[in-house]
Structure 1
Amino acid sequence: MAMTTRELSYQADGREMIGSFYAPEGGGRHKAVLVCHEGTGLSDTTRDVAKRLAGLGYAAFALDFHGGGKPLPMDQLMSRAGELFGDSPRFRAIGKAGLDVLLAQPEVDSANVAVIGYCMGGALAFELAREGIDLKLAVGLHANLVTGMPAAKGAVKAKILALTGADDPIVDAAQRAAFEEEMRAAEVDWQSFVYGGAKHSFTNPNAGDMGHPGIAYDKKADARSWKAMMNAFDEAF
């Protein structure tokens, strides 16, 4: 499918963020998806997800939450991630800035928007849902599930889908259980799939480059999680 593509620069968190937008050619407004990258930063892996969604008829914006539209140097990653995980209002503000960019695009149907994210980006997707933003769906793939600001009862408008690996040492069973209890207490419409044998970053073909025994690509879990997400899209939209 032919598509419109453009790089979009915007300000957030005192930085110049550069995200990538994709939409089907031909005009009109489309259901839209905000795509949130892994903790390492915006990369071609995340852009490929946005392109794939555009090929399915969605308008998609791969936001940037570190700045410069590129991965963050490893010597800066842990401090940056710690700062954002420790400050939910700040993290949410960065996500909302990216969402505002998506909503401003003429190809976007602002009444039909979802947010998805991978790892730290999945945590951001869930933070935006906890904020009570008018979203159809929030999906976290191997997402960190903890938050400093748990969802208030009745506040979450989005349907929630958590897709995690059973052998993920970063998002372990205790974290999954706490998230489920949060969703119940907040009376959220939520689903969770746990993939046997899958570790952290199971959707990223380059996960092995991290050199961590708990981080690995899993082709089967990748395919299954995409299918589960597409089913959730069909239901939510």
Structure 2
Amino acid sequence: MKTQAILVLMSILLGNMVIAQELKGVNYKDGNQELKGMVTNNSGQNLPGVLILPAWKGIDQEAKDAAIALEKQGYIAFIADIYGVGNTPTDNAGSSKLSSQYKKDYKSYQGRIQAALDELKKSGATKIAVIGYCFGGTGALEAARGGLPVEGVVCIHGGLAKAADRPNVEIKSKVLVEHPADDASVKPEDYDGLVKELNEGKADWQIITYANSKHTFTNPESGDYNPVMAKRAWNHTLMFLDEILK
């Protein structure tokens, strides 16, 4: 058993070393706030780009794995730092507090996304799309709502609601929402409100709902992980990116 445990640990460490070698840290700023994102090793080439918005704890393994997988598909991938250096939450309570602040102050959230988009452009990206997980999925929708210069956005088990006093506006970027059917964090009225918002915004949109799936169904480290539906969702993401970026 000890030998098996040691082998598992070595496998994890080696895997993390590979990830570290294939992603590079990028220091950038939004105003006076220092930020540190990550970019794939193919930066500097003229390739389509994908901005990844991580979940509520900041840059995590799911975001890193997505970046590596996207590089293999021929994209420059950049993982955004939304909270900034020194502000990364250490627990769920802190994550909830910080992410809620950005959801409420959506213009600041859009500004942080734009700062990351600027860095991705500096990395050589031509056409750009945004994908986001959970809190980052909400950010993907905010990129569309804010008219940020992207071809399309993918919201992966993100929050779908926005404040009731915010008007629905024209949405020019294409929108894909990957929604787990059993997501307890999304109310039926939030879902219906998003459909209304996208229709009134004359958006090119689609929502794919995944059966038997709870909130973080794409994350292998989550108890909600559904490998079958996660694979389908990833394939849908790649199909969408291929259509709008290549």
Give the TM-score taking structure 2 as reference length. Answer: 0.84
2:111 maps to amino acid: A
1:185 aligns with 2:200: yes
Counterparts of 2:54 and 2:241 in 1: how far apart (Å)? 19
Root mean square deviation of aligned Cα: 2.0
1:217 alignment counterpart: 225
- Identity value in percent: 28
Matched, 1:169 2:184: yes
Query: For the pair shown, which has the larger CA radius of gyration, 1 or 2?
Result: 2
Distance 1:193 1:217 in 2: 17
Residues 171-196 of structure 1: CA deviation (Å, up to 9, x unaligned): 23322111011000110000000111
Structure 1 residues 12 and 161: CA distance shift in structure 2, 3 A: same
**Are the counterparts in 2 of residues 141 and 162 from structure 1 also a CA contact under 8 Å?**
yes
AA in 2 matched with 1:120: F
Q: CA–CA distance in 2 between the matches of 1:78 and 1:22?
A: 28
CA contact (8 A) 2:22 2:68 kept: no
Of 107, 116, 140, the match for 1:98: 116
Q: Distance in 1 between matches of 2:167 and 2:212?
A: 29
The total of aligned residue pairs comes to 222
SS at match of 1:187: coil
- Work out the CA distance in 2 between the residues paired with 1:163 and 1:45: 16
8 Å contact 1:138–1:158 — kept in the other structure?
Answer: yes
Query: In the TM superposition, what whole-angstrom CA distance separates every residue of 1:60-104 from its partner, at most 9, and x where no partner exists?
Result: 101111223995211422221221111111111111111111111
> Displacement of 1:140 after TM fit?
0.4
How many angstroms apart in 2 are the aligned matches of 1:69 and 1:204?
25
Q: Comparing both structures, which one devotes a greater share of its residues to helix?
A: 2
Q: Name the CA distance, whole Å, in 2 between partners of 1:102 and 1:69.
A: 22
Task: Supply the distance in 2 between the matched residues of 1:78 and 1:102 (Cα, whole angstroms).
Answer: 27
Residue of 80, 89, 105 corresponding to 1:63: 80
Letter in 2 for 1:136: E
Q: Is the CA contact 1:130–1:150 (under 8 Å) kept in the aligned structure 2?
A: no
Counterpart of 1:159, as a letter, is K
Aligned to 2:3: none
CA distance in 1 between counterparts of 2:88 and 2:231 reads 25
Gaps (5+ residues) in structure 1?
A: 209-215
Mark the CA change 1:44 to 1:70 in structure 2 (over 3 Å): closer, same or farther.
farther
Contact 1:23 1:58 in 2 (8 A): no
Of 222, 226, 230 in structure 1, the residue corresponding to residue 234 of structure 2 is 226
Contact 1:24 1:55 in 2 (8 A): no
Relative to structure 1, the CA distance from residue 178 to residue 47 in structure 2 (aligned partners, 3 Å threshold; closer, same or farther) is same
Using the TM superposition, give the Cα deviation of residue 13 of structure 1 relative to its aligned residue in structure 2, in angstroms. Answer: 6.8
Query: Matched residue of 1:66: which SS?
Result: coil
Q: Hey, what's the Cα distance between the residues in 2 that align with 1:188 and 1:61?
A: 25
**Residue in structure 1 matched with residue 55 of structure 2 by the alignment:** 38
1:12 aligns with 2:30: yes
